[in-house]
Structure 1
Amino acid sequence: MLSKLNHKNFVNLLGYCEESEPFSRMMVFEYAPNGTLFEHLHVKEAEHLDWRTRLRIAMGIAYCLEHMHQLNPPIILGSLDSSTVYLTDDYAAKVSDVQFWIESKDTGSGSGSSSPLSDAESIVHRFGMLLLEILSGRLPFSEEDGLLEQWALCYLNGEKPFKDSIDPTLKSFDEETCDALCKVICCCIHPEAKERPTMAEVTKRMRDITAMPPDGATPKVSPLWWAELEIISSDGN
């Protein structure tokens, strides 16, 4: 299943280790050295993410999810939040989660079953909330403001300018882009799941807004450079 996820914005599987004595199981994934998106958004000691970097991260996540949803059968993440997104040396997004649905589960009872379509709609909602978190720099939940979605409601429905919800630590941002992304977020978190766009539609809208193609959102330096050097060295010997 993981071998199908050959995408530059996914933390790809490098290998699998299985030992009987002592009993051990291990999967080895590529390394993303700059920690999680959560840390850079919410931990003061972490390096600050500027406006363009945040858009690049959001686009990388979108391209990865689009790729996953278009596989046959589609691969749907089990979870998506800022703690499951890692950042490379040049701050490109690396989505990481291995708990996902591959195909619908049919229990025959009409309840307790799940389908790729319904899970895809859920992931679209989570992406909308993650995009809101990236732009606002606010926690998904805080004791002071409650759920982020509730806190942002007055900005999303137009009662207050959406630009006022943007992370105040950002030195600059584009207001026109903000307003366009606000509409994307509103579509993604629509209360009626069937009314939400697909990830392909979301990604297209965001690409039109940011003018960032897939190459612009992928890592510029391979995190596997050390392995490539080792292979070259071994071949030389």
Structure 2
Amino acid sequence: MGICFGKPAKLANASSTQLVGTGTEPVKTKADPNSGIKNGSLQPFNLDSTISTNLKSFSFNDLKNATKNFQPDSLLGEGGFGYVFKGWIDENTLAATKPGHGKVVAVKKLKTESFQGHKEWLAEVNYLGQLHHENLVKLIGYCSESDQRLLVYDFMPRGSLENHLFKKGVQVMTWVTRIKIAVDVARGLCFLHNLDANVIYRDLKASNILLDSDFTAKLSDFGLARDGPSGDKTHVSTRVVGTQGYAAPEYIATGRLTSKSDVYSFGVILLELLSGKRAMGDENMGGNDETLVDWAIPFLTDSRITRIMDTRLGGQYSKKSAQAAAAVALSCLDPDPKQRPVMKKVLEDLEEALIPIDSPKSIARAKRQNAVSGQSAYSQKGVKLGLEPK
């Protein structure tokens, strides 16, 4: 369930169809995911002290006042487990303020009848209460009062990547913006995967990538995130959850979850950025049952890359940079997870693609490579071309 949309939006669509079993396995967090549930009802509970000290505890009445009592005109979006409302808090004290005054925030309100949503709510508090990175949405605070469960986030004025790619009437994003968004997402995943206790995001999709005013991309919605394998373990065994079209095939088939599952999902996101088509069920791919991966793979390995490019870009991109991005996507989508690159390598390749060929940094790198290989700086294979049309 995406959050913090700039404009009202329904999250349910062909690209966000949940796989069976969504959220039904135990969530691996410091607090018991079933804590707060008694006799079939949600009850108050205590969060881990190391988490609660990082977050603001709001009263339910405070958040009612901050969101105009959750009126429809404050509604930003709706997900499977709750609603997201626009609210206001004091920028310094974080106290709730009257609507229209102070810092704008997004308030996610869990449906009181959603016990399964409570587990996702708790996972979100535990992960985002401890993890901080410029490419993760910032969780400001929470409310746990009686049967009410709410979360308060930084407001993301540009809304979701899903809206910018697929919603009619939204201005088309440039090629440079799309690749920068891909780099931001890769940085967020790289951060998660390289923690001492690595975290697998598990629900990467366009609706869970939110954009700030500068189109900086941030991962949101950590309700399905899981701690990765530890010790000599190679994977985490779970019941399959996620979104059709984005989930890695080996994870769907076996329930064995690794960081390479996120890498596959990132490849799908990259294809969406290249093509402007949904991960699944896009009417322009010839059928509702065909995935974007199945449709695009034949065009990723040769000069036909232009066949999959978003026609709304009007050709305003370098063909060689598009081929470089397509090569990254293809490596991420390898059917064998062992052959997929780690996110650190993916990030390096995409960051190189952002460097124009005539920039001082690119020229310096080419000269260093030339000194070693004796090749012409501009013919050096490792130098990536810029993003602008040539």
TM range (shorter): 0.7 to 0.9
1:19 aligned residue (135, 142, 145):
145
Give the structure 1 partner of residue 276 of structure 2. Answer: 137
1:180 is displaced (CA, Å) by 0.9
Kept in 1: contact 2:202–2:261 (CA 8 A) = no
Residue by residue over 1:76-127, the C-alpha shift from the partner in whole angstroms, topping out at 9 and shown as x without a partner, is 1120011111111121112112120114499xxx994599x94210100000
Moved over 6 A (4+): none
Kept in 1: contact 2:237–2:257 (CA 8 A) = no
Instruction: Give distance in 2, aligned partners of 1:56 and 1:187.
Output: 19
Give the structure 2 partner of residue 155 of structure 1. Answer: 299
Higher relative contact order (CA 8 A, sep 6+): 1
Alpha carbons of 1:18 and 1:26: their partners in 2 closer, same or farther (altered >3 Å)? Answer: same
Name structure 2 gaps, 5 residues minimum: 1-126, 240-250, 357-390
Residue by residue over 1:118-175, the C-alpha shift from the partner in whole angstroms, topping out at 9 and shown as x without a partner, is 42101000001100111110111225242111111221232x5112211000030111
Give the structure 2 partner of residue 203 of structure 1. Answer: 347
Kept in 1: contact 2:156–2:213 (CA 8 A) = yes
Alpha carbons of 1:111 and 1:35: their partners in 2 closer, same or farther (altered >3 Å)? Answer: closer
Answer yes or no: is 1:124 the counterpart of 2:255. Answer: no
Please tell me whether Structure 1 or Structure 2 has the larger radius of gyration of its CA atoms. 2
Residue by residue over 1:10-39, the C-alpha shift from the partner in whole angstroms, topping out at 9 and shown as x without a partner, is 11111121212xx21212111101111111
Give the structure 2 partner of residue 102 of structure 1. Answer: 227
Instruction: Give distance in 2, aligned partners of 1:111 and 1:11.
Output: 25
Kept in 1: contact 2:228–2:258 (CA 8 A) = no
Instruction: Give distance in 1, aligned partners of 2:295 and 2:162.
Output: 19
Task: Give the 3-state SS of the residue equivalent to 2:353 in structure 1.
Answer: helix
Give the structure 1 partner of residue 109 of structure 2. Answer: none
2:164 aligned residue (35, 40, 51):
40
- Aligned letter for 1:95? L
Equivalenced residues, count: 206
Give the structure 1 partner of residue 361 of structure 2. Answer: none
Higher helix content, 1 or 2:
1
RMSD of aligned C-alpha atoms?
2.5
Task: Give the 3-state SS of the residue equivalent to 2:311 in structure 1.
Answer: coil
Aligned-residue identity in percent: 31
- Aligned letter for 2:133? H
- Aligned letter for 1:38? E
Name structure 1 gaps, 5 residues minimum: 213-237
Kept in 1: contact 2:165–2:172 (CA 8 A) = yes
Kept in 2: contact 1:128–1:188 (CA 8 A) = yes
1:69 aligned residue (193, 206, 213):
193
Q: What TM-score does the superposition give when structure 1 sets the normalisation length?
A: 0.80
Superposed, 1:180-195 pairs within 5 Å as 180-195=324-339
Alpha carbons of 1:200 and 1:63: their partners in 2 closer, same or farther (altered >3 Å)? Answer: same
Task: Give the 3-state SS of the residue equivalent to 1:169 in structure 2.
Answer: helix
Kept in 2: contact 1:32–1:94 (CA 8 A) = no
Residue by residue over 1:194-228, the C-alpha shift from the partner in whole angstroms, topping out at 9 and shown as x without a partner, is 1100001110111111139xxxxxxxxxxxxxxxx
1:190 is displaced (CA, Å) by 0.4
Answer yes or no: is 1:7 the counterpart of 2:133. Answer: yes
